[in-house]
Chains A and B, each alone.
Chain A
Amino acid sequence: MPETAISDEQILGLMQHQQTREKGFRLLLGKYQERLYWQIRRMVLNHEDTNDVLQNCMVKVFRSIDQFEGKSALYTWLFRIAANESITFLNQRQKRGSTSLDEEGAPVANGLKADPYFDGDKLQAALHQVLHSLPDKQRQVFNLRYFEEMSYHDMAAVLNTSEGALKASFHHAVKKIEHYFRERGLE
Chain B
Amino acid sequence: MNEKPKDMNPKVELRDELRALSPLLEQLKSGKEGFQVPETYFQNLEGELLERIQQQERRTPVRTPWWQPLLEQWQLLLQPRYALALASVLVLVAAGGYLIVRTGPGAAPCQDIACLTAEEVRSYIETNIHDFDTRTILDAGGAGDAFDDVGLPSSVFEEGELNEDELLDALESLDPEDLETLF
Given A29-B46, A146-B14; A120-B34 close (CB under 8 Å): yes
Asked whether any CB of chain A lies closer than 8 Å to the CB of B49, the reply is: yes
A residues whose Cβ falls under 8 Å from a Cβ of B? 22, 25-26, 29-30, 33-34, 37-38, 41-42, 47, 51, 54-55, 58-59, 62-63, 112, 117-121, 123-125, 127-128, 145-147, 149-151, 171, 174-175, 177-178, 181, 187
List 18 additional contacts besides A63-B53, A174-B25; criterion CB under 8 Å.
A25-B50, A30-B46, A37-B37, A55-B45, A59-B49, A59-B56, A62-B49, A117-B36, A120-B35, A124-B28, A124-B32, A128-B34, A146-B14, A146-B18, A147-B33, A149-B11, A149-B14, A150-B10
Contacts of B3 in A (CB 8 A): none
Assess whether A120 is in contact with B25, with CB atoms less than 8 Å apart.
no
0/1 interface trace, chain B 145-162, chain A, CB 8 Å (1 if under): 000000000000000000
Docked pose: A149 CA to B24 CA in angstroms: 17
B residues whose Cβ falls under 8 Å from a Cβ of A? 10-11, 13-14, 18, 21-22, 24-25, 28-29, 31-38, 41-42, 45-46, 48-50, 52-53, 56
Contacts of B56 in A (CB 8 A): 59
Given A29-B49, A59-B56, A151-B13; A178-B31 close (CB under 8 Å): no
Assess whether B35 is in contact with A118, with CB atoms less than 8 Å apart.
yes
Docked pose: A25 CA to B49 CA in angstroms: 10
Q: Which of A22, A59, A119, A147 contacts B52 (CB 8 A)?
A: A59
Given A149-B10, A177-B22; A117-B50 close (CB under 8 Å): no
Assess whether B28 is in contact with A33, with CB atoms less than 8 Å apart.
no
Assess whether A124 is in contact with B34, with CB atoms less than 8 Å apart.
yes
Q: Which of B14, B28, B52, B53 contacts A145 (CB 8 A)?
A: B14
Shortest CB-to-CB span from A127 to chain B, Å, is 6
Docked pose: A147 CA to B145 CA in angstroms: 129
Q: Which of B29, B36, B46, B48 contacts A26 (CB 8 A)?
A: B46
Shortest CB-to-CB span from A17 to chain B, Å, is 16
Given A47-B37, A120-B32, A145-B14; A55-B46 close (CB under 8 Å): no
Q: Which 10 A-B pairs have the closest CB atoms?
A: A120-B34, A124-B34, A151-B10, A117-B36, A174-B21, A174-B22, A29-B46, A149-B10, A178-B22, A149-B14
Contacts of B33 in A (CB 8 A): 120, 124, 147
- Show 15 A/B contacts (Cβ-Cβ < 8 Å), sorted by A: A29-B45, A33-B42, A33-B45, A38-B35, A47-B37, A54-B45, A58-B49, A59-B53, A119-B36, A121-B34, A124-B34, A128-B34, A146-B29, A147-B33, A178-B22
